Chains A and B, each alone.
Chain A
């Protein structure tokens, strides 16, 4: 099944277009298409994971233009894992949106599918300009999704988000121009080869381009000096969109991981691993700041946004350690944190809906209609996201802490554990305010609809599943990390064998 690789891009594109055909039609067929397409996407991505598990790197040459000249899609363990994670998260948020959030504005499902296309494309592509194009696809869809339903808060947060990302796109293009100007190629594998054998005079220019690229990816990932857009945008987005946005920061983390291990990785000559020492300090600072932020949040959704910031810090610390064990650990942690923070966004929205005027703000107010069910889900989500045993957060964090060298331990252990403590304090404070200091509850208030419950259970229930299946999953993530750090195998799989003598 050679064409399987392109399906995660084609499938959402086609169903997204299908939903634009009749804009005035009733909601039901669109919901059915969205659910069917997302479910199918999940099956395809599970097949891709199965295909990549053999350890072989396969590529799909679009239009049969062979690399390094044509645009290629590359399937290795890491990209298959990310596509699978995206489709699972999307399944949960589409199910939740079908309960009524999709009616608050037009074209929710169509835009949602197009955003999925952009995200999947960014994970699969092996061409750095194509990465830019898919970034734009996912950003353009996210601009409209962020403002779905309208409202003062959303338009203002949306304008900040759009302006920042437009500036980011400009910088992305400048960085690409510099990279193309110095290496003369856009294919990532070919570029990795060219960087290793670069004229030393152009090294400074290339380094500037690489740093600029880090700024762009850092903006997407919301690393410390570039995170200011995140809490506001995520807290004002509609719940299913915010849940999907949980993967958006991970797109940035993925891009950093891919570019700075492949192109500027261990075999890049003088530029080998030059970014990681910088990343280490910025990631630690993000971690610390996320801890402070989570204590200061006055709204459940703002709190989850800062928890995402903590997870970004944790992930990037793992990236900057740049060894097999920490990268394997961070990939496991990435699965866990994406699903659980998406689930928490949905839960915050469900709680806000049942509390009437108090909404999702952390103040004593009316009690929720279904305290037992929501309380249980909140407890599950909180335990997971903070990283208390026995759920998946604890395993991910323990793996990462265990992978630190003695020289890294004092910084990583203290900051990661302190930020977890901050999360613990904040989550228990907001939980007790919302559930225990609640006033009289309205027994015929709004209840959870079935599809909302399915969405919540899919995302939050993934955590116990992740800890039960921790053995096979960590085996897969460790293998992905090993594959990621083995550049020669990647280059061999993509590029044609060098022709004798005819090298230009």
Chain B
């Protein structure tokens, strides 16, 4: 299971990083989202991978999973989700303001110099 988990996390992170380095805003947003998925999976695994373990102390149970990474992942998911929504809206705003979805739109800078 560890090998599969590590491969999936690594693949997600690599895809996310590749997309985040693209030149258009939409792939960048998708890349950052994938990266945050990879991070969530990674955080989840930091307590060690356990299947069928109890997270809360209970009588008659002696097989536990580490509950802290689960709480951390929950926080990270909430923040990541909000930030994805924000960056999608921001990317649309950039598209509206610049008239192009390039992350580094050079056209927007040149007329500004002339106007001065």
Q: How many residues from B make CB contacts under 8 Å with A?
A: 34
Known: A178-B46, A180-B68. A156 touches B98 (CB 8 A): yes
Partner of A163, one of B28, B43, B46: B28
In Å, the complex CA distance between A173 and B46 comes to: 11
Are the CB atoms of A156 and B76 closer together than 8 Å?
no
A361 partner residues in chain B, CB cutoff 8 A: 116
Are the CB atoms of B42 and A177 closer together than 8 Å?
yes
Known: A169-B79, A174-B42, A180-B68. A163 touches B87 (CB 8 A): yes
Partner of B32, one of A136, A151, A163, A181: A163
B46 partner residues in chain A, CB cutoff 8 A: 177-178, 180-181
A436 partner residues in chain B, CB cutoff 8 A: none
The 0/1 profile, CB within 8 Å of A marked 1, for residues 78-105 of chain B is 0100110011001101100110000101
Partner of B103, one of A147, A159, A176: A159
In Å, the complex CA distance between A176 and B79 comes to: 15
Are the CB atoms of B20 and A186 closer together than 8 Å?
no
Are the CB atoms of B39 and A170 closer together than 8 Å?
yes
In Å, the complex CA distance between A363 and B116 comes to: 10
Known: A159-B94, A163-B87. A152 touches B82 (CB 8 A): no
The 0/1 profile, CB within 8 Å of B marked 1, for residues 212-242 of chain A is 0000000000000000000000000000000
Closest to A160 in B: B103
Is A413 positioned at the interface, with any CB of B under 8 Å from its CB?
no
Determine the main DSSP class of A at the interface with B: helix
Partner of B68, one of A147, A162, A186: A186
B105 partner residues in chain A, CB cutoff 8 A: 156
Minimum CB–CB distance from A362 to chain B (whole Å) comes to 12
Are the CB atoms of B76 and A173 closer together than 8 Å?
yes
Closest to A172 in B: B39
| Contact residues of A between 184 and 207, Cβ < 8 Å to B | 186
Are the CB atoms of A159 and B90 closer together than 8 Å?
yes
Are the CB atoms of A155 and B68 closer together than 8 Å?
no
The 0/1 profile, CB within 8 Å of B marked 1, for residues 346-380 of chain A is 00000000000000010100000000000000000
Known: A129-B72, A178-B46. A156 touches B79 (CB 8 A): no
A133 partner residues in chain B, CB cutoff 8 A: 75, 79
Are the CB atoms of A180 and B103 closer together than 8 Å?
no
Is B108 positioned at the interface, with any CB of A under 8 Å from its CB?
yes
In Å, the complex CA distance between A48 and B69 comes to: 33
| Contact residues of A between 263 and 284, Cβ < 8 Å to B | none
| Contact residues of A between 138 and 162, Cβ < 8 Å to B | 140, 143, 147, 150-153, 155-156, 158-160, 162
A160 partner residues in chain B, CB cutoff 8 A: 103
Closest to A159 in B: B94
Closest to A185 in B: B68
Are the CB atoms of B86 and A174 closer together than 8 Å?
no
Are the CB atoms of B97 and A170 closer together than 8 Å?
no
Closest to B43 in A: A177
Are the CB atoms of B32 and A167 closer together than 8 Å?
yes
Are the CB atoms of A159 and B91 closer together than 8 Å?
yes
Partner of A166, one of B25, B32, B38, B97: B32
In Å, the complex CA distance between A140 and B90 comes to: 13
The 0/1 profile, CB within 8 Å of A marked 1, for residues 40-53 of chain B is 00110111000000
Are the CB atoms of A158 and B83 closer together than 8 Å?
no
A156 partner residues in chain B, CB cutoff 8 A: 94, 97-98, 105, 108
A174 partner residues in chain B, CB cutoff 8 A: 39, 42-43
In Å, the complex CA distance between A93 and B17 comes to: 37
In Å, the complex CA distance between A361 and B115 comes to: 13
The 0/1 profile, CB within 8 Å of A marked 1, for residues 19-41 of chain B is 01000010010001001101100
Closest to B99 in A: A152
B69 partner residues in chain A, CB cutoff 8 A: 177, 180
Minimum CB–CB distance from A83 to chain B (whole Å) comes to 24
In Å, the complex CA distance between A159 and B93 comes to: 9
Minimum CB–CB distance from A318 to chain B (whole Å) comes to 32
Known: A155-B93, A155-B97, A180-B46. A163 touches B39 (CB 8 A): no
10 nearest A-B residue pairs (beta carbon): A181-B46, A177-B46, A177-B43, A173-B39, A155-B97, A170-B39, A166-B32, A170-B35, A152-B97, A159-B94
| Besides A133-B79, A163-B28, 6 other A-B contacts (C-beta < 8 A) | A129-B75, A155-B97, A167-B20, A167-B32, A173-B39, A174-B42
Identify 9 residue pairs between A and B in the complex whose beta-carbon atoms are under 8 Å apart, listed by A's number: A156-B108, A162-B83, A163-B20, A163-B87, A166-B32, A169-B83, A177-B46, A177-B72, A180-B68
